[in-house]
Chains A and B, each alone.
Chain A
Amino acid sequence: MTTIDTRPDAANAAADDASSGSAVASFFVDAAAWATTTDHKRIGRMYAGAGLLALLAAASLGALLGLERAQDSNTLVDADALLQVFQAYRVGLVFAAVIPLGLGLAIAVVPLQLGARSLAFPRLALTGFYSWLGGLALTMVALGRNGGIGGGDQQGVDLFLAGHGLMIIGLLASAGCVATSVLTTRAPGMTMRRVPLFAWSALIGALGMLLVLPVVFGAIIYVFLDHRYAQLNFGGSEGIVIWIGWAFSVPAIIVYSLPAVGVAAEMFPVACRHRQVMRGVSFAGIALVGVAALAATTQQFVHDVTFDTDGESFVRGAVPFLIFAGLPVLGLMIVLGLGLLTAKQGLANGKPSISAPLVLSLVGFDMIVGGVLGNALYSVTDLELIGTSFEEGTVLLIVYGTALGVMGGLAFWAPKLWGRVLPNKQALPIALLASLGAALATIPLLIAGFLDQSGGVPANDDDVSSLLTIAGVDQGVLWNTLSFAGHGLVALAVLAFVGLMLKTFTGAGQVADQNPFGGHTIEWGAPSPAPADNYEKIVTVASPEPQFDLTYEGSRS
């Protein structure tokens, strides 16, 4: 065995041996097997599980802050702690929730979709998970001791930056594993054109992270050294927001949402029992979202599109705007349009099957489309939305949209990951609750943004005061109360979803057969749940939808 070869995970065998002993011994053996696993399905579930818990915490903080804003007296949270609470909310949404959720689902599912027995470099992916988790813990400790952006405790600020550095290293390691898997571990016959849409979106998202996060890491190195030793170049603790604040906002987070786009693209043909129409164009649409969002992140995300000027000035402003802010919208429209075309053709085969995965992923996709459209509007300086709560609404649309998409993906691939189908009777109401909550949390903030309610990542107590002041906002109490209710519903829905998953982990619920949703791609040919090394025999793939061929056309490919 070499340092890169992997072998079937011995964890299951060890756990089986221990089950004959006492319950305590069995628990510790199980825990050790999970903690040291090289099974990508377990690593991915640990990432996604931790991401869901972080999302629950962030949504709860969002509800708290919504209520704080809706109140005139602002007395719910200690005034000295508000700066840190706002930052915990933003860090929680982006670095603790949306990135690990997408990455976790990709780690769990992509090797199965590729017909591979393992993720590339599984130990590195596990190390990345622990690095991310450790960095997140350090970040939260730092915020707890008055650190963070604009924090008063010098060591706390340093710890906040170090925690972010550690999180980024971990996320980069795991993203590298996903990208390498798609590029090197595909089953024989699976050319890049035959890669499933979710795996493709995971590749684009991972490459996007590999291009964006090192830039953030470089900025953190500078800011950390400057803050610790000199405080001359980067504006001290308050200046941190200038240098790394963009990583918590649009358009950077569009890159992190790509796995959820892939889940939705995967759902259209499955629900309508039809081949994906023009797969290559769908690939281009997904890639366009990633490339354009990356370009906007690294080059320009604010545009002087002035409508009351001469033609040349308008064109000079409009062209970069259309390239950087318009192309991600076009990419998503391509994915949506081809999905709807597939659905239209599939309707000839009968009604689509409505399931919780379908509802979650499609609502999530719609929210991401809304968020990307919001990003396009936000970046037009003429609209004067910069610095308003419109930005927070846009971020929330993408974060909650991605979370819904990933929850849909977890429900969809649950049969392969832990061998159970999430019952529709319980999962569908949760999906509807989450969708309603996400819409309520985000749309009022978008409206309040047009009414000049302040927004953004606060860097000091003045910014916090500005964020909490809604006196000049028409119906400000209403919008923030609605947003509070929306965050609360999202938190409830996430809690219920986690509970439902845990219930089925422990053996409750319907045992899944091999292909309960009529999936088209190769992973649906594996047993449910897939064993530690996924496939007993490596099959040769001759089509992008081998299970569709087998199920609907009777040909083996």
Chain B
Amino acid sequence: MSTSTAQLALPPGAAPAPRRQLFVGTAVACVAGTMLIGGMLAIWVLLRGRVVETGARFPVDYIIPEVATNVMLMTIWALCLFAQWAVYSGSRGDRAHAALALGVTALLAIAFINAQAFVYVDMAVEIRADNYGVLFYAVTGAMMAIVVAGLVFTTVAAFRALSGRLQETEILSAHALYWYFAAAAYSAVWFVVYVTK
């Protein structure tokens, strides 16, 4: 069989890959996530205002471990740095550094979750005791879910990038974008939930 015959027998080639589909999809998801956290914080501010109007503090009896929550804020922004480092390394074809960057990203995400667990244990907020408990666990739980989703994203990105598609950096860019969103969301949660007394 000649080469030209073999080529004619092939099915039509695939359409060119859509440009930056994963990146745009991630951006769309981040918009929805922003509305989720924004809406939840708006309800928090509304209900907190009702309590404060009565002259009470909000929260009444709980001491917020500020060191842990501040470290969480620094952690999540540092995490963005490492996610961006993975993009840079990937675009240069530097597998070792990309692996290191993604590994550190995952490690910091786990550290964030660990710190949140510490905050839960240290504050020992009773969900049934007063009106603070439900609000606290709802907002911080939603934030935890966002970080856990980011950790899963990091794992998928690592598999994809390190298994031979290193220089297709779209997934790494989308992954970094997600962590920027998570950091911005946590910054708002940190200010409203942990800083505002």
Contact = CB atoms under 8 A, between A and B. Distances in A.
Interface string B1-18: 000000000001011111
Contact of A180 (B21, B43, B47): B21
A120 B14 CA distance: 15
A219 B137 contact: no
- Chain A, interface size: which category? 35 or more
Contacts of B133: 229-230
B44 to A, nearest CB: 9
B160 A232 contact: no
B24 interface: yes
A35 interface: no
B131 interface: yes
B156 A120 contact: no
Interface in B1-46: 12, 14-22, 24-25, 28-29, 31-33, 35-40, 43
B4 to A, nearest CB: 20
Contacts of B37: 218
Interface string A537-548: 110000000000
A536 B43 contact: no
Given A5-B17, A536-B12, A222 B131 contact: no
Contact of B160 (A3, A179, A207): A3
A494 to B, nearest CB: 31
Contacts of A210: 28, 31-32, 35
B26 to A, nearest CB: 9
A2 B160 contact: yes
A176 B39 contact: no
A215 interface: yes
Given A217-B36, A222-B135, A120 B25 contact: yes
Interface string B32-73: 110111111001000100000000000000000000000000
A225 B134 contact: yes
Contact of A233 (B14, B39, B131): B131
A183 interface: yes
B37 to A, nearest CB: 8
A327 to B, nearest CB: 21
A211 interface: yes
Nearest to B23: A184
B149 to A, nearest CB: 12
A116 interface: yes
B165 A226 contact: no
Interface string A38-78: 00000000000000000000000000000000000000000
Interface string A160-194: 00000000000010001101100111000000000
24 contacts: A2-B165, A5-B14, A116-B18, A121-B25, A176-B32, A184-B24, A185-B21, A210-B31, A211-B31, A212-B35, A214-B35, A214-B39, A215-B35, A217-B36, A218-B35, A218-B142, A222-B135, A229-B128, A229-B133, A230-B131, A232-B130, A233-B135, A538-B15, A538-B16
* Shortest beta-carbon contacts, A-B, top 8: A215-B39, A214-B36, A214-B35, A218-B40, A218-B39, A180-B25, A184-B21, A232-B131
Interface of A: 2-5, 7, 116-117, 120-121, 172, 176-177, 179-180, 183-185, 207, 210-215, 217-219, 221-222, 225-226, 229-230, 232-233, 243, 535-538
